[in-house]
Amino acid sequence: MAQPDFWNNPETARSVVTQLSSVKSMITPVFELETAVNDLHELLELAAEESDQATLASVEADVKELAEQCDKIEITGMLSGPDDMRPCFFGIHAGAGGTESCDWANMLLRMYTRFFDDNGYKYEQLDITPGEEAGIRSIMLRVEGPFAFGKLSCETGVHRLVRISPFDSAGRRHTSFAAVDVMPDYEDEIEIEVDDKDLRIDYYRAGGAGGQHVNKTSSAVRITHLPTGIVAACQNDRSQHKNKAEAMKMLKSKLYMIEQQKRDAELAKLYSAKGEIAWGNQIRSYVLQPYQMIKDHRTDFQSGNVQAVLDGGIEPFIEAYLRYRAQAKNKAS
């Protein structure tokens, strides 16, 4: 970063800055904890020599706080995968349940964007398909921040909601499903060849905000990889060229993940864990009626504070899954 030409390539520079931020977020807490432990040890020795009960009680409280900090550092240590520090493409897709599921997908979008805001993540909308009556049918975001892919990959899968439907005049209980899909953004670092004849590229008018430009210019781009059926779309920019480049980058990330899956059974299991967006495939249930409980079916971790979770408080679920995944790896080895 000290090189005079560092900012000549802004995209590469931003990538390095993001990596630096991630590394600092790992190293700094370790040094701070080490200093705090040494200081507390000296204080404990002095308090013990003088039989200072008040200071001993204070040290005991401080030890509990340091133990909590140590737990957080341990969690960070579990984010050691080769892609965990990368930015990611983050998608939400409504499943079985029609309007209900589109509204549920919108609720999940609110939950995750609040989590992003609370944790200092930057995100931008790349593509969106609104629901016919309410909510969203699907959305794709690009998320950037410390361990963006590492943490958010824990959310990959089907999310199930049980509630009294606001769209049912009879006030009956409904079950809705939505899927979360997360892929690392390899930016321009991966080398994967895509034959032009394997691609179908469609241009269309972007939806949403944008004024007269949206109605007059087909700037949105959708790329379909014919051999696999994988689709990548982007309508974020007014430039058709930029949207095409972003969609192509997304497509290559998806294809690269498929290649990785062939070599890595665990990653394949993680990526394909979504299954069908319907019954029997959910990783987490959000029950609002007849009782209130959110439960992760992989780890059995649960919370009764439903509103706090829907307001973005998903960190405990992420930490529980990271521990679960680490234990599974240890058993396998």
Residue 214 identity: V
196-262: which CATH architecture?
2-Layer Sandwich (3.30)
Q: 240-249: list long-range contacts, CB under 8 Å, 24+ apart.
A: 240/203, 243/219, 244/201, 246/126, 246/142, 247/221, 247/222, 247/223, 248/194, 248/223, 249/185, 249/186, 249/187, 249/188
Distances (CA, A) of 253 to 112, 250, 282: 22, 5, 25
Ranges of residues in the chain with a pLDDT under 70 are 188-191, 207-217, 260-280, 333
How does pLDDT run across 119-144, given as a tens digit for each residue?
999 999 999 999 988 899 999 999 99
Confidence (pLDDT) at 270 = 47
Q: Where are the domains of the chain?
A: 6-77, 88-186+264-332, 196-262
Q: How far apart are the first and last CA of the chain?
A: 39
Q: Under CATH, to which class is 88-186+264-332 assigned? A: alpha beta
Tokens of 134: 């309410």
Q: Do the domains 88-186+264-332 and 196-262 sit in the same CATH topology, yes or no?
A: no
- ∠ Cα 112 322 299 (to 5°): 90
Residues 6+ apart with CB under 8 A from 61: none
Confidence (pLDDT) at 293 = 97
Q: How many CA atoms lie within 13 A of 273 on its CB side?
A: 21
How does pLDDT run across 242-297, given as a tens digit for each residue?
899 888 888 888 888 777 666 555 444 544 445 556 556 789 999 999 999 999 99
b/e code 270-283 from CB counts within 10 Å (16+ = b): bbeebeebbeebbb
Confidence (pLDDT) at 23 = 82
Confidence (pLDDT) at 277 = 60
